[in-house]
């Protein structure tokens, strides 16, 4: 999910580092949603006692998906549960799993996502139903096999 979400964000116009952060953020969010958002502080309401909500100012909308944003060293990044999803985290948690095959997987993910119209990519439900779900198992198996034979 992370790689396809990052490709989606990149195709929709986010710079690469921001797209990587988006991909990690969405993967974490979806995993938490499947578990029922147990524990942790979540994203918070953005409210402090006696202050107006700054939540809207901290939100980023990619189509109908919403994530909390921060800017770090001039780069748009995304947070969940108070943690910023950085490019370093993407490298460690995603890219490293691919070994020497990440570039090929990234190119394939981009080409695949680019084949869909903008409206499909802007809709979280359509993206899941039409882009992610139909090929997730095939892509995961192929990318896993490639990474194991390339090492």
pLDDT at 54: 66
E-strand stretches of 53-99: 59-62, 65-72, 75-80, 83-85
Residue range 48-61, pLDDT digits in tens: 333 445 666 799 99
pLDDT at 86: 95
pTM of the model: 0.83
pLDDT at 142: 85
pLDDT at 39: 52
The C-alpha angle 25, 27, 28, rounded to 5 degrees, equals 65
**Helix ranges restricted to H, the chain:** 2-11, 16-35, 55-58, 87-93, 102-114, 118-122, 124-126, 133-150
Which segments in the chain show pLDDT lower than 50? 40-52, 151
Asked if 47 contacts 59 with a C-beta cutoff of 8 angstroms, the reply is: no
- CA 131/CA 45 separation, integer angstroms: 31
Residue range 128-139, pLDDT digits in tens: 999 999 998 888
Per DSSP, the three-state class of 53 is coil
The C-alpha angle 47, 34, 39, rounded to 5 degrees, equals 45
């Amino acid at each position: 999910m992370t790689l396809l979400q990052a490709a989606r964000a990149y195709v929709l116009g986010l710079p690469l580092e921001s797209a990587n952060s988006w991909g990690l953020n969405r993967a974490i969010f979806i995993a938490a949603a499947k578990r029922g958002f147990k524990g942790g502080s979540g994203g918070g309401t953005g409210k402090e006692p006696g202050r107006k909500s700054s939540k809207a100012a901290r939100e980023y909308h990619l189509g109908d998906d919403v994530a909390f944003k921060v800017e770090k060293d001039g780069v748009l990044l995304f947070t969940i549960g108070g943690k910023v999803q950085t490019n370093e985290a993407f490298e460690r948690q995603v890219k490293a799993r691919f070994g020497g095959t990440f570039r090929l997987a990234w190119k394939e993910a981009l080409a695949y996502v680019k084949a869909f119209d903008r409206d499909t990519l802007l809709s979280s439900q359509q993206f899941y139903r039409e882009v992610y779900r139909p090929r997730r198992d095939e892509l995961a198996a192929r990318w896993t096999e490639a990474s194991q034979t390339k090492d």
